[in-house]
Chains A and B, each alone.
Chain A
Amino acid sequence: MKALALLFLTATAAAALGAALPEATKIDSLLAADWQKHNLQANPPASDEVLVRRLYLDIAGRIPTVEESREFIQSGDPQKRAKLIDRLLASDGYTSHMFNFWADVLRLTDNAKGKITAEAYEEWLKKELKANTPYDQFVKKLLTTEGGAWDSGSIGFYQRDENKLDHLAYTVQVFLGTSIVCAQCHNHPFDKWSQMDYYSMAAFTYGMDTRGNGVNEIKLPKRQQGKAVPAALANMTPKQRRQWMKDHPEEAAKMRKEAGENGNISNQEMQQVRKALGDVMKPLRYTAINWNEGKLPKLPDDYKYSDGKPGETVGPRAMFGHDAAPKEGQTTVQAFADWMTSPDNPRFTTVIANRMWKHVFGMGVIEPLDEMTDSTVASNPALMDYLAQLMIEKRYSLKSFLRVLYNTETYQRMAGTQEIALGEVSRFTGPMLRRMSAEQIWDSMITLTKGNVDAEVDDDNVRLHQYLQDLSMFINTMKEKGPEGIVAAAKEGMAQRQENDRKLDAMRAEIAEKGGASTPAQAKVLANAANRLRREASNNLLVSLIGEDRAEDLIRGYNPNRQMQKQRPKLDRASLAGMTKEQRKAMIQASSNTTMVSRASELPSPARPGHFLRTFGQSDRELIDNANDDASVPQALTLLNGPLIQNLASPASKLSQQLDKAGSSDQKLALVYEALLSRRPTNNERAVLSQVAHERGDKAVEDVMHALITGSQFLFIQ
């Protein structure tokens, strides 16, 4: 405690320096009035040591390097806090950190259909965050996006959910902080929303077709036009017609035969062509979305309220606020986007202002932030009103808004030492103590082993764009080629397929001859052969469709990580069998999920279950804001027994290299403190450390490093 008191003393002096932003002062005064009302004291100001670590973590998503924290702490510039805030907001670390934040809110996942679209969406998000696109425009871009992934990665927003009704519920929850999902199936039990409200809202975005893929865009020859429908079938519904065909097999067969002879291409052939093209066109699946104006949802078959009938079409109607009727030349979804993002929308601005406040201070002025109702009251209504006003004044520039919050005196105070009980509100006498997010922990580990790697954040993925261009070119070539050209090529492909079938049959016959049932090894050879032949056939077809050069580009596919995967040792059973148990364990661990290469934002999104990031609570991206910061035993096991500590202590790590240069063991141990906690040890701690140095000799440095990594102090943002 003495140590902390010391830190407070140096801090008071620092906080007095610098001229505040007027908006920040306004926020401080609104908070001060609230404290007075509730008879509360402000927390003490935070020291430079506490603040430098907090600012780096909160804005750049990682702890500062030793050099960065020293530079800040030693600077005598009265404006140094404001300057650091500006520098960090302008850094790529901000892009990376905010990417993780929004990826959780928007449920970005590349573990989905249409991986290429998902990756384009991720890259697009980074680019928008880096450019600081005003939030209202950002949302508008998402809502009105259309076309192929090569046009804009933002189509990933709609591609994320196959079910448009679900997607609307997510959209309303994220941008309007209102939960209407219950009303998808019945009137909302606790809020005023009716099922009709839900369908009326869904009608705005229902015309966005996400099933569109390349195959649909390419015109294949239709069945012969003007074909005479037999009189018996003329007045039947399709269902009746199918039944009739079933009941009259002979007539049906005759009709099919005639239809085949009449056209140039029989139905069956056409089906074969589509099949053959299926493989080839696969890369185009889930890469484009199209808007269909006028496509509207229908009430479900079990609709049970008096304001509509089952199966009835529902038109768009805004759930609150002003009308969202399309202006001249606007589509429904464009009108919806205007309505959503208007400063007049009663919830849009409040939600983003509150979300950003929570991001900075650890709790919303309104909690929970995505279940607002008409009776929701902010814990500090004057503050909430001002924050919404500030968001509009800053024209929805999130960086400008955040800049104000970070510059408040209140943010720059110590974190509250007392816990806020569940369901209680914070009066914000300072920010809350927070556990780092999974990504902050990971990125901090990277900082320790590799230093500042913010610049590696990839917001312009050249390889991705090349590949997307290849896809776009592919579609265009196919369109130019026209139906006849495609069919001719596909027929050739069919011939090769039949040849392949013969080869496979021969292999199977051979296996059968040698003794009936196949061994697992033979079965594997057979399955591999099937895979290879099929790949070859589809590649050949691709070449004959679009030429060798372009086909090669497409066949190579988009796989930027192939290099990285190769670095991992391959674990085959044979070599494992030759090892001792310990060797085996070590080998497996080394190749496990803890290989530290790049920042969390550059890894698969989300990381696989079992990965370090997931162990520490990274969102699975299935629900909005689904990350968690709970302690768990696997976290403790990871930090105690995982290869992390070895990585830190290895000669390749930046920290080890710095430690090598430090002089005495006291200096080395102090450096460990600076690297991990951005401060030097207190007097009490120094006493413990010299005892450790005395007792443990060479082992002392790694002991202290491991002891600090496994202490909660490291994991929390004070």
Chain B
Amino acid sequence: MNTSFLRADEPTRRDFVMNIAKTCLGVTVMHPLLRNQANAVAFEGSSKARQVATARNVIYLYMAGGMTHLDTFGVSPGSETMGDTQCIPTSADGIQLGAGLPTVAKHMHHGAIINSLSSTQGAHEQGNYYQHTGYTMRGATRHPTMGAWLQKFQGKGNPDLPGTVVISNDSKHPGGGFFEAAFQPLVLNNPATGLQHSQRLASLKESDLDYRLGLSAKLNSGFEQAYPQSAVRAYSDVYRDAVKVMKSADLAAFDLNEEPDALQEEYGSNTFGQGCLLARRLVEHGVRFVEVTSGGWDMHNDIYARLPEKISELDKALGALLGDLERRGLLQDTLVVVSTEFGRTPNINQNSGRDHYPKAYSSALWGGGIQGGQIYGKADRGIEVTENKVSPPDLNATIAYALGLPLDQVLYSPTKRPFTIADKGQPITALFG
């Protein structure tokens, strides 16, 4: 969905529907109805909690497929559910991690682990959607993800760059949901390729391209005069903006070649590692919400043969990112989140793997106002949450809370249905200092 950022002010189908609603239903009809029914009933439980933002940016690292909690952040030292995984101490007193995360372990004094996540969705697509939006998947509505809510309430960090960038091969990302096109994230499949088509063709000189742009305007003028419509005018506007983008200094935000080789190496020579490096560059240039996906965590078979590859990618990239952000003074206003759709079964199955386990799983957060060195919630041997249960809406509400977003403000979808951030999730205020 990278069709969208910097879009001309065009009425979309959604606006159109909204407008029809206004003309056909009339504001006077709509409001009392909403007040009496949907509105009052649906939002009784929304959290009123709000704080001055402790985070300006979010780097959201998504472990697609269901990251095993027991082998990573939700360890249970000495328990039979640990499989082959050993625990290691970290820079924070009393916090241990799976042995595959030695680099991340050095940063746990800045981080908090949530060990009491519990979801109702045990299938990938549904779980992924729930984790990303705080809403369960329902027909005919696409709910926005956090980057879109952030842009909606607080605007973009850099007007010349997209509000949200998603570095992922997941083509089902809910993105901006029902919000207008301008709130859709820019999706990059490959962090190395940068922003598509933002550079002049190698075979063209700048003067050639300028000539063609001038000629195009000249040859198109008759058509534009004959059809003085906004949809036609919008194209003149986007060409003007496109040229602006091509000349913008912010394009460098997408160029990993500007990073020293050693640092590229430190993040790891794989899509996820380079994606994390790109995330840091984008945040520096004013993109406020960046998501990087790491796929392949769905380990139903031979988990201890598969895990080393994934976990070392995560360890290198996340460790490098946290160190890099800290060195640059960015960690204090950048919230880094590790998230996934569910955990994996405490039992090792017949195929030496772990299956889907939404009942108890883990997530971890660093920076952006998080009080480091704490574990929130408990899950007995990774099996059952015994203290401070956290739902995906709660986790979303926590991220929104860090960003200072209003959790109880109602916005309407084009189908005239009311929604709030995180579907009445309650922020975990205890995570903040």
Contact = CB atoms under 8 A, between A and B. Distances in A.
Do A and B make up one complex?
Answer: yes
Given A592-B196, A632-B4, A711-B216, A4 B305 contact: no
18 contacts: A179-B415, A181-B141, A190-B33, A417-B229, A423-B23, A504-B304, A517-B102, A518-B308, A524-B309, A588-B192, A609-B2, A620-B1, A623-B140, A630-B12, A641-B198, A707-B213, A710-B239, A713-B220
Given A422-B16, A592-B193, A646-B203, A573 B269 contact: yes
Contacts of A187: 37
Nearest to A528: B309
Given A520-B312, A699-B208, 7 more contacts: A368-B17, A497-B351, A518-B312, A520-B316, A638-B196, A642-B196, A707-B213
B201 A645 contact: yes
Contacts of A415: 227
A711 B415 CA distance: 35
A418 to B, nearest CB: 7
B306 A433 contact: no
Contacts of B238: 631-633, 635-636
A650 B320 CA distance: 45
B223 A706 contact: no
Given A526-B308, A713-B223, A634 B302 contact: no
Interface in B163-200: 171-173, 181, 187-189, 192-193, 196-200
Contact of A641 (B200, B227, B305, B417): B200
Among B29, B41, B305, B308, the most chain A Cβ lie within 10 Å of the Cβ of: B305
B34 A189 contact: yes
Interface residues of A, number: 113
Given A1-B226, A706-B212, A641 B302 contact: no
B302 A631 contact: no
B202 interface: yes
A678 to B, nearest CB: 14
B313 A520 contact: yes
B253 to A, nearest CB: 15
Contacts of B38: 186, 189
B222 A684 contact: yes
A586 B201 CA distance: 8
A435 interface: yes
A111 B268 CA distance: 29
Contacts of A173: 140
A474 interface: no
Among B230, B237, B351, B417, the most chain A Cβ lie within 10 Å of the Cβ of: B351
Given A189-B33, A507-B305, A636-B242, A630 B7 contact: yes
Interface in A613-643: 614-617, 620, 622-625, 628-638, 640-643
A564 B201 CA distance: 25
A163 B141 CA distance: 13
B189 A610 contact: yes
A187 B36 CA distance: 12
A224 interface: no
A635 B3 contact: yes
A631 B240 CA distance: 12
Given A631-B8, A631-B238, A708 B231 contact: no
Given A423-B20, A527-B305, A710-B239, A703 B211 contact: yes
A603 to B, nearest CB: 13
Contact of B201 (A507, A527, A635, A646): A646
A614 B3 contact: yes
Nearest to A685: B219
A467 B284 CA distance: 51
A271 interface: yes
Interface residues of B, number: 108
A530 B301 contact: yes
A182 B352 CA distance: 45
A429 to B, nearest CB: 15
Interface of A: 1, 3-4, 111, 113, 161, 163, 165-167, 169-170, 173, 179, 181-182, 184, 186-187, 189-190, 271-272, 275, 367-368, 371, 415, 417-419, 422-423, 433, 435, 494, 497, 500-501, 504, 507-508, 517-520, 522-524, 526-527, 529-530, 533-534, 573, 576, 581-582, 585-586, 588-589, 592-593, 608-610, 614-617, 620, 622-625, 628-638, 640-643, 645-646, 682, 684-685, 688, 692, 696, 699, 703-704, 706-708, 710-713, 715-716, 718
Contacts of B236: 712
Interface in B397-418: 415-417
B228 A417 contact: yes
B247 interface: no
Nearest to A271: B350
A708 B219 contact: yes
A643 B310 CA distance: 35
Given A523-B309, A526-B309, A716 B242 contact: no
Contacts of A573: 269
A519 B313 CA distance: 10
A3 B350 contact: no
A527 B269 contact: no
B139 A170 contact: yes
Nearest to A432: B229
Given A631-B237, A632-B8, A3 B415 contact: no
A712 B224 contact: yes
B305 A530 contact: yes
Nearest to B22: A423
A170 B239 CA distance: 37
B235 interface: yes
A435 B219 contact: no
B252 interface: no
Contacts of A696: 211
Contact of B8 (A179, A615, A630): A630
B222 A615 contact: no
Contacts of A3: 222
B25 interface: yes
B41 A712 contact: no
Given A186-B41, A368-B20, A609 B305 contact: no
B152 interface: no
Given A417-B226, A534-B302, A628-B12, A435 B241 contact: no
Nearest to B198: A637
Contacts of A715: 235
B387 interface: no
A553 to B, nearest CB: 24
A712 B309 contact: no
A708 B212 CA distance: 9
A616 B242 contact: no
Contacts of B232: 433, 712, 716
B375 interface: no
B10 interface: yes
A606 to B, nearest CB: 8
